[in-house]
Chains A and B, each alone.
Chain A
Amino acid sequence: MSAVWDYLFGSPAFLIFGTYTLMMIVGLGILLHLQLGVTGIGNFGVAGFWGAGLYAFGIMQVTYDVGFWPALLVATAAGGVLGLITGWVIADLDDDGVLAATLAVATIVYLAIDSEKDITGGRVGLGTIDFPFDVGDRTDLAWLAILFGVVGLLLWYARRVHRSPYGRLLIATGTNEPLARSLRKPVKRTKVGVMALTSAGMGALGGLYGPIVHFLFPTQLTVAITVSVITALVLGGQQRPLGAFVGALLTVGLFDIAIKLYVPLPKDLLEHAFPVTKQIIFGALLIFVLLFRPLGILGRMRRERHVKGLSRV
């Protein structure tokens, strides 16, 4: 029994770090679900909104020596303001324009961090960032619990949105904009609003990632993050709040936790072939799922259940 325990939890630091990553992807995936799966906004710059929060948090803590809560607030605001601006830009663009604009925003964030070295540390890095509390050995575990709580909260909110008039407005905006407009729905403002709100969430998640890595580098915000989030959400089911969770377990959970920790791969394989294979599989998953099962594992929204449930309340 204890052998099994040792095998599973023998290297807690790695397991905890893998779970951090998993939770980040799930959290970002839930927010992307609200943008893409519900409102139909294809945000390809997730890494940028998240990264803006991460660096805003780091800059506040390291460069300006600000406390945890104000720093987290600034991180959230950074994501939110960036989302607001992006929402304003994309509100009347079609999907190609949304792709270009969201990618451009993420690229600008990356370039700005790389360029403004005095504030961000550039490629040298920015650190160190510590946990806002210290409970000895298990501080990282406590942080993980907090992260679980935050992601749980996001999931709860997303599920509530599906059951609220707001969610219905978002779905209507995403599926038939002109018709929604003709029913006096302000679709532009709705899009700007949902982008600001969800991007603020991404910024907050970025802030919470700061203490995990202690040291920030621009290379942490490459397109790989965005691809992981999109893959998890698309595989699990973009229209369902739990989609990102299911998809992330099967992608990040499988590769970054199960295989990395429990399959004894040779070191050189782990360094090169393993991450490359992982990306190839992510890419192939995106293609196959969207071609042959576009709504992923969980399938379409179950609006009729909600309607039936309502007559009972």
Chain B
Amino acid sequence: MSEGNGSASGGRATIRISGLTKSFGDQTVVNIDELVLGAKPVEGLIGPNGAGKTTLMRLIMRSTKADTGSVILDDGSGEMVLSKLAPHRIASLGVVKTNQVTQDFAGLTIWDSLLLAVAQRHDERPHRIYRERHVRESHGEEIQSYLDLFEFSEPEGFAHSTGEKKLLDVIRCLLLKPKILLLDEPTAGLPDDVTAQVIDMLRTKVAEGMSVVIVEHDLDVIWGFSDIVHFMAEGDVILEGDPDYIRAHSTVVEKYLGSGHV
């Protein structure tokens, strides 16, 4: 771990991507020369279907392995090469991602799922069989505050709907206190009022220092929430700029929004 040469973004953690490529068969899905994520508090990532947004996020998390290239995390105190680490190590360094496709642990209740997220490595040793109370006492209130914020039909039982599971996914990630949170369509399947609540909650976290990179098909969320928007097409980021700039850009309109959208 080498000392960082001064974090570019005033204390915010950034992810620097260089020469990152990924192909499935003979189709190149991601091909990014240079890209820095996290310099601004909230960064939107948009682009047509198949542009490689989700794959890019998976490559950062290493749930999909890249063909070439490096991903480096600079959290202000030093640089870490994420592209050499195991996925669980990346998460513990503060880079965390929510899931586009609903993910859940069958058999774990809502509380279980959230207690799992907060439990530390030393809480989870096989001989710590009386550790539950400690975990509950040190994180119970935090968990309860999230559960108070949103309405779950059965907070002490299981998540039932896709929406509840989606919400749970976001809360789990927030409980990890990420430095950079990658959101892959976090509000898909949520009712509008809940979407607004989620965005509000994220804003609070961003104000506390967390950076967000968000992929979202609901463009109102992107325009209203992002400080900067990256436009991806054919595996590469071809345009970057503030929401108004991207929204009005002819390439974006032509390739993505369609002429009737502006």
User: Does A175 make an interface contact (CB < 8 A)?
Assistant: yes
Residues on A with beta carbons closer than 8 Å to the beta carbon of B63: 178, 181-182
Interface residues of B in 191-210 (CB under 8 A from A): none
- Chain A nearest CB: distance from B248 CB in Å? 36
Q: How many residues of chain B get a CB closer than 8 Å to chain A's CBs?
A: 42
User: Does A293 make an interface contact (CB < 8 A)?
Assistant: no
Q: Which of A43-51, A54-62, A299-307 binds B?
A: A299-307
Given A160-B129, A193-B126, A165 contacting B105 (CB threshold 8 A) = no
B125 touches A304 (CB 8 A): no
A194 to B127 alpha-carbon distance, docked (Å): 11
Most chain A Cβ neighbours within 10 Å, of B88, B99, B128: B88
Q: Chain A at the B interface: mostly helix, strand, loop or mixed? A: helix
User: Does B1 make an interface contact (CB < 8 A)?
Assistant: no
Given A165-B131, A171-B105, A182 contacting B123 (CB threshold 8 A) = no
A165 to B158 alpha-carbon distance, docked (Å): 18
B88 touches A186 (CB 8 A): yes
A304 to B107 alpha-carbon distance, docked (Å): 9
User: Does A208 make an interface contact (CB < 8 A)?
Assistant: no
Residues on B with beta carbons closer than 8 Å to the beta carbon of A157: 129
Query: A172's contact among B96, B108, B156, by CB below 8 Å, is which?
Result: B108
When C-beta atoms are compared, the residue in chain B nearest to A308 turns out to be B156
By size class, the interface of chain A is 35 or more
Query: B109's contact among A165, A186, A307, by CB below 8 Å, is which?
Result: A307
User: Does A163 make an interface contact (CB < 8 A)?
Assistant: yes
User: Does A135 make an interface contact (CB < 8 A)?
Assistant: no
Provide a sorted-by-A list of 6 A–B residue pairs whose CB atoms are within 8 angstroms: A163-B132, A164-B131, A180-B116, A182-B99, A183-B176, A301-B107
List 10 A-B pairs, minimum CB-CB distance, nearest first: A184-B91, A160-B129, A184-B92, A165-B119, A307-B111, A165-B123, A169-B124, A181-B87, A164-B129, A303-B109
